[in-house]
Amino acid sequence: MKEGELVANRYLLTTKLGNGGQADAFRAWDEVEQRDVVIKTPRLDDRDPEDGEVLRLRFAREAKILCELRHPNIPLGYATGVHNGQPYLVMQLINGKTLDQFTKDYNPIPIVAAAAIGVEIGEALDAAHAAGVVHRDLKPNNVLLSHSGVAHLIDFGIAKSLRPDATKFTAKGVSIGTTGYMPPEQMWGSTITERTDLYTLGCVLYLLIAGQPPFTEGDHGRGVPEQHLNDPPPPFEVHGREVPAELERLVMQLLKKSPEDRPSSAREVIERLQPFLPRPGDSAPVPALIPDPTLKYRLPEEVRPAEAPAAPRPQSRRSPNSRRARAPQSFVSRSEADERERLARKKAANGDPTGALRDIERLVAQADDAFGALDSLVVRLRLAQADIARLAADEGRRET
Q: Which residues are catalytic?
A: 137
With beta carbons less than 8 A apart as the criterion, state whether 391 and 347 touch.
Answer: no
Closest residue by Cα to residue 91 from 138, 17, 28: 28
Closest residue by Cα to residue 129 from 210, 168, 179, 73: 73
With beta carbons less than 8 A apart as the criterion, state whether 182 and 175 touch.
Answer: yes
Residues near 86 by beta carbon (within 8 Å), at least 6 away in sequence: 1, 41, 42, 44
Closest residue by Cα to residue 97 from 175, 151, 177, 133: 151
Decide: residue 300, CB within 10 A, 0-12 exposed, 13-18 middle, 19+ buried.
Answer: exposed
Decide: residue 209, CB within 10 A, 0-12 exposed, 13-18 middle, 19+ buried.
Answer: buried
Q: How far apart are the first and last CA of the chain?
A: 59
Would you put residue 281 in left (φ > 0), alpha (ψ -120 to 50) or beta?
left
With beta carbons less than 8 A apart as the criterion, state whether 278 and 298 touch.
Answer: yes
In what helix (H) or strand (E) does residue 89 lie, and over which residues does it extend? strand 86-92
